[in-house]
Structure 1
């Protein structure tokens, strides 16, 4: 089949099939094809019913996102939905795979829906900063009411066929051949002479008018501070489904979609969508011969090692977990067992699944037990001497062709690889804690890393359900180096007059879940302190160095784990500012002769953001990051950067690169090397380009 949309007639039933691989996105060509074929089927006197299905792996999984942000060519999706819904002949959707967004709206516009049991449906448009634009905000509430409709649209979550059936969104679940089940339903509908019931005429969801209004009011209150405009628009449109005629509600939905689609939030979220997919495209994939990964070893059973082991077990791998002594091994295994017990208790998985995953775990204190595994992930303490010792032991036992991945946040993997006989097999896997939950995986490519090892890592990341980003060797790689710039900008302001709580509040207001000093307390101040001590010998004497963090650590205050850090954590009512830290800050200012000045929330945000974007530009210029969007992916998935801002590079684009550059120059006198704009700013500005163009 070469057509995007095909039509065939079988026993008086018109079968319209979408064929736009890989996910049957509803591009302009598909919409034109649907319009032509639906109208042809309606006009054919021999046709008594219409079945809409799709070839390949899925029913349409949404609109063509590449068309967003520019004028939509007709016919638009809502016009296709109108054709299906107003057809005088019964229309039946046969759904398999994932019917998402516009795909699900197509199905909702049909008179009947038959869905394969394994399929999922949903309206995830909110995750792209928009709202359903094909009638979803008007049709779903008519069937299920406001509460379920708003949950579906505001969460953007996929739901199972069974859940959708229970809600009344679909009519029948097929256990095997969904196309045949739809044909059978069409035959039955024809034989029964059943009249079509357009979804727009259904009123089940309006039966409890007070409950409908209360559900709308509740979500409006819950989401009143949500920064995404599409959230409020979704609530307004669902409310309109009850109080406006259908056509007026559709017009309101369309206007709301158009307004959100071109806004900065939706633009940033589309950027994030494409950036994630772009990050998976690395030069090492071309012509790669992937190494076989059937078994995985994890060295180190601490919090990180246990999390990595869980991630591998969840992906279906047998795992050999190694710790240096029996007590440490038992604690690690207990962590893993407790995780699965918790998952079973919360019904994330069933007991049988938990037992099966644990059955693939082998614990040992003998490195020799790793001699047959295909990949070893070293996750011991972040200390170069400790890791060198482990590398030497692994070099002696690993099989030829086995991959040695080091989970390190900062250390030089080239230096580590140089200590063993197989540097070509060494790669960095920077997992983020908790490793079985956080999606980011920085894959760090050493000078001698075999390209096939890199490509294998990207393939593995997909199995682990991680978002992989390629990074070159540099202190902190991509994420932690940008994080260091963020913290340094904050530390300068801390020394110059701002307080930890003020800086944290400003960055939460920008959209981060917590501020930089809250993060430090949570992670442990001793970790960043150890890095500063490690880098002390190479620090340029002319660089400004803020000692406040060091002096806090010298008191033995390492954050949450000691009850004190920038905040006090052992009091009722949550953490409060540590007055002793404020005294340390004040004393430092006196010693340096600094007269404290005030900072607005916007200045705090700008300095932190522009420092991150500048460091990201440097990383791209140095080849540590392949592209600016990779920096954004790392910050979005690993560091809580607000998705509706798109990442620091996208945020800089939206502010304007000339504005960012001029701000950096205005601060340069305070700290010349830190605030010096990357040469990339001039290159882009003079050519009228942005980071997102690269």
Structure 2
């Protein structure tokens, strides 16, 4: 017989919130109190102050004399997706922020303190505070269908503030905790259910079908003593608390990597490492510390956390509802043609075949180049197989989909044809002029141009309405952005097909105006141009290059230039100089570097190479702070110009592009929050974006 008692809690700010219902279940001779987390508005389960109060009230209402165990679970594909970020970012004082951590520690600590065995039945996604909740139970099962378990807090500028760090250290030790809380979080990685079981974060992985009953069976095995094969104490359950005699070499190494990557720009990972180290030095069973509460409160109010949470919301909302997608049905795509067989073309062919599982045909002027492209694709598939990211049979199937040759007639029945030849307007025009008569009138023509005018490219086409810019970023398999470039001729059906295609490729599409450099390359080129201008004027190249390091960007400007290639970058600089000569120049030193055939300005150690130094003027004393101010002011000016030109719908799209296309970390907010914070700029009326005082 089952009886149910539901605890209703008021809604937060008039919106739906997570509620906790209690059901008493008799199963195989044992009595369970099952607490189920649900959201009254059919939204993913998250925990805010009201939801935490409801959860604690449900625990307090239990009659433990009537039960043998207490279990917590969720419904559908989500166990608990973590804390309610919208509620938390509305807090304005340190006391309020610390109260969020204190309340979570109290509510989850109540679960850990129950006098009967406790279980978390992780039916789906368990992130952040949701995983912390599960860790406060004595035992954990996870459904095989659960998509993600992890701690995203550090990437959001926060720390796990509800005891998750201490509980994970006790379970897995400090080194593995640091990997989960810091390294994986910064990389945006989560654990699969299998990976969570492999490391001992959960005790048992069970099939998704019949998961609740299987979890109850597991719990009965524990309660009856018949099942003792659990991992809930971790692989080294006899581990002694860390003392002062041996250093945490892994934590020290991680801190050094953070310094090299972030240069202190984002405080959250450093605070997390401090708390991990402290947790490993204290006895098991220690409850949440004042340091944990203070760290959470201070970080929640920090500029970096607010920018990170903003970036998170921007990326999530734009993925679900891309701005500018027409409300018409897309055309079917059954085969794809790729013109070109270089490095980028090889990556495009692979992603189309792997994600769409459709025939892909590569064409180039030389069969030798085509064969080289097919070879590169095979190598990439082999790497995925070796890393256990792809089954051998899937690799074989994908490779079989990709064929190549020199005859462009094989493109005749392709629904989509994308060119990836050298970034030269006349060459691209010639390619399309040759291909258009060979393909169907309704086939979509795409160009992967990074800076050229799409409209100019299609000026001689009979059907310019089917030509669209479809700009991927290198490496194609990693960076999730596609800039979709429409012209005044592009029809809605073609544009809808481009958006649909980006989604099927698991890319985030941003609609941009047909202007040189679009968004990402225009901003990165303005940054590089400003840096090169300072170097050409005698700024110390090493100081100038490293001046932005305190911002924690992915690369220094000269590292980025070396990655792009000086020849390609010079071409982009020349294109933008022709379009905006008042703001973009053509660097004397870059021109000389290209003429000398150098790979860039840097040597293998990251310093200025002797060959590049010989091409530069004598350096004068240079202040890195002034350099940083100069570069950020130039970027703020460029962002303002782009918004005034309506290159994108708004600043959110610029920030999305910089996060997904330039790999800018969340703590920058993309770009506009960073400029507002660091450049000392003001908000342009009606634009809500920083505007520099640069003339």
TM-score (norm: length of structure 2): 0.84
Deviations 1:500-548 (A, max 9, x none): 32221223343234322333233222223334555676675x7784541
Alignment of 1:566 with 2:601, yes or no, is yes
In the superposition, relative to structure 1, how do residues 79 and 374 fare at CA in structure 2: closer, same or farther (>3 Å)? farther
Q: How far is the alpha carbon of 1:619 from its aligned partner?
A: 0.9
In the superposition, relative to structure 1, how do residues 639 and 501 fare at CA in structure 2: closer, same or farther (>3 Å)? farther
1:590 maps to: none
1:67 maps to: 87
Is the CA contact 2:38–2:45 (under 8 Å) kept in the aligned structure 1?
A: yes
Alignment of 1:285 with 2:312, yes or no, is no
Alignment of 1:166 with 2:193, yes or no, is no
Matches within 5 A, 1:243-254: 243-244=281-282, 246-254=285-293
1:651 maps to: 674
Distance 2:576 2:677 in 1: 34
1:586 maps to: 617
Distance 1:93 1:495 in 2: 62
Distance 1:87 1:555 in 2: 73
Distance 1:516 1:644 in 2: 19
1:7 maps to: 22
Taking only aligned residues, the RMSD between alpha carbons, in angstroms, comes to 3.3
SS at match of 1:315: helix
Is the CA contact 1:316–1:357 (under 8 Å) kept in the aligned structure 2?
A: no
SS at match of 1:577: coil
In the superposition, relative to structure 1, how do residues 553 and 291 fare at CA in structure 2: closer, same or farther (>3 Å)? same
Distance 2:174 2:601 in 1: 44
Question: Which stretch of the first structure deviates more once superposed, 170-179 or 29-38?
Answer: 29-38
Distance 2:606 2:110 in 1: 58
In the superposition, relative to structure 1, how do residues 43 and 637 fare at CA in structure 2: closer, same or farther (>3 Å)? same
Query: Is there any run of 5+ residues in structure 1 with no aligned partner, and where?
Result: 588-595, 662-680
- Match of residue 179, structure 1, among 212, 224, 239: 212
Distance 1:691 1:477 in 2: 19
Question: Which stretch of the first structure deviates more once superposed, 107-116 or 61-70?
Answer: 61-70
Deviations 1:453-511 (A, max 9, x none): 43443343333233332211110001111122212222331233213322212233432
In the superposition, relative to structure 1, how do residues 287 and 89 fare at CA in structure 2: closer, same or farther (>3 Å)? farther
Deviations 1:200-224 (A, max 9, x none): x999556244599757353135315
Q: How far is the alpha carbon of 1:358 from its aligned partner?
A: 1.2
Distance 2:293 2:475 in 1: 41
SS at match of 1:7: strand
1:673 maps to: none
Is the CA contact 1:111–1:198 (under 8 Å) kept in the aligned structure 2?
A: no
Is the CA contact 2:46–2:81 (under 8 Å) kept in the aligned structure 1?
A: yes
Alignment of 1:241 with 2:279, yes or no, is yes
1:683 maps to: 685
2:302 maps to: 263
Is the CA contact 1:525–1:549 (under 8 Å) kept in the aligned structure 2?
A: no
Is the CA contact 1:206–1:242 (under 8 Å) kept in the aligned structure 2?
A: no
Deviations 1:153-208 (A, max 9, x none): 1222322333333333212210242212122234445556999x998x99955624
SS at match of 2:79: coil
Alignment of 1:307 with 2:338, yes or no, is no
- Match of residue 426, structure 2, among 385, 391, 398: 385
Distance 1:449 1:420 in 2: 12
Distance 1:274 1:236 in 2: 28
1:117 maps to: 144
Distance 2:440 2:403 in 1: 18
Alignment of 1:577 with 2:608, yes or no, is yes
Compare the two structures and name the one with the higher helix fraction.
1
Is the CA contact 2:453–2:515 (under 8 Å) kept in the aligned structure 1?
A: yes
Q: How far is the alpha carbon of 1:410 from its aligned partner?
A: 0.9
Distance 2:227 2:385 in 1: 46
In the superposition, relative to structure 1, how do residues 325 and 257 fare at CA in structure 2: closer, same or farther (>3 Å)? same
Alignment of 1:527 with 2:565, yes or no, is no
1:34 maps to: 55
Question: Which stretch of the first structure deviates more once superposed, 469-478 or 438-447?
Answer: 438-447
Q: How far is the alpha carbon of 1:641 from its aligned partner?
A: 3.4
Distance 1:447 1:645 in 2: 34
Is the CA contact 2:367–2:406 (under 8 Å) kept in the aligned structure 1?
A: yes
SS at match of 1:586: coil
1:53 maps to: 73
- Match of residue 107, structure 1, among 129, 134, 145: 134
Alignment of 1:638 with 2:661, yes or no, is yes
Q: How far is the alpha carbon of 1:26 from its aligned partner?
A: 2.4
TM-score (norm: length of structure 1): 0.84
Distance 1:353 1:198 in 2: 33
Matches within 5 A, 1:188-267: 188-189=221-222, 204-205=236-237, 207-209=239-241, 214=246, 216-224=248-256, 225=259, 226=262, 227=264, 228-244=266-282, 246-267=285-306
In the superposition, relative to structure 1, how do residues 237 and 566 fare at CA in structure 2: closer, same or farther (>3 Å)? closer
- Match of residue 454, structure 1, among 485, 495, 498: 495
Distance 1:339 1:193 in 2: 47
Alignment of 1:619 with 2:642, yes or no, is yes
In the superposition, relative to structure 1, how do residues 396 and 683 fare at CA in structure 2: closer, same or farther (>3 Å)? same
Question: Which stretch of the first structure deviates more once superposed, 69-78 or 328-337?
Answer: 69-78
Is the CA contact 1:115–1:173 (under 8 Å) kept in the aligned structure 2?
A: yes
Distance 1:243 1:210 in 2: 4
In the superposition, relative to structure 1, how do residues 324 and 469 fare at CA in structure 2: closer, same or farther (>3 Å)? same
Distance 1:509 1:387 in 2: 40
1:508 maps to: 549
Question: Which stretch of the first structure deviates more once superposed, 59-68 or 301-310?
Answer: 59-68
2:536 maps to: 495
Is the CA contact 1:94–1:182 (under 8 Å) kept in the aligned structure 2?
A: yes
Is the CA contact 2:577–2:586 (under 8 Å) kept in the aligned structure 1?
A: no
Distance 1:404 1:554 in 2: 32
- Match of residue 166, structure 2, among 122, 130, 138: 138
Distance 1:436 1:443 in 2: 17
Deviations 1:324-383 (A, max 9, x none): 331221111111112122333344434333223212222233333223333222212211
Tell me the number of residue pairs that the alignment of Structure 1 and Structure 2 aligns.
647
Q: How far is the alpha carbon of 1:623 from its aligned partner?
A: 0.9
Distance 1:202 1:351 in 2: 33
Q: How far is the alpha carbon of 1:283 from its aligned partner?
A: 4.1
Distance 1:450 1:212 in 2: 69
Distance 1:107 1:537 in 2: 58
Distance 2:85 2:279 in 1: 26
Query: Is there any run of 5+ residues in structure 2 with no aligned partner, and where?
Result: 1-5, 7-15
In the superposition, relative to structure 1, how do residues 182 and 576 fare at CA in structure 2: closer, same or farther (>3 Å)? closer
Distance 1:530 1:367 in 2: 28
Alignment of 1:396 with 2:437, yes or no, is yes
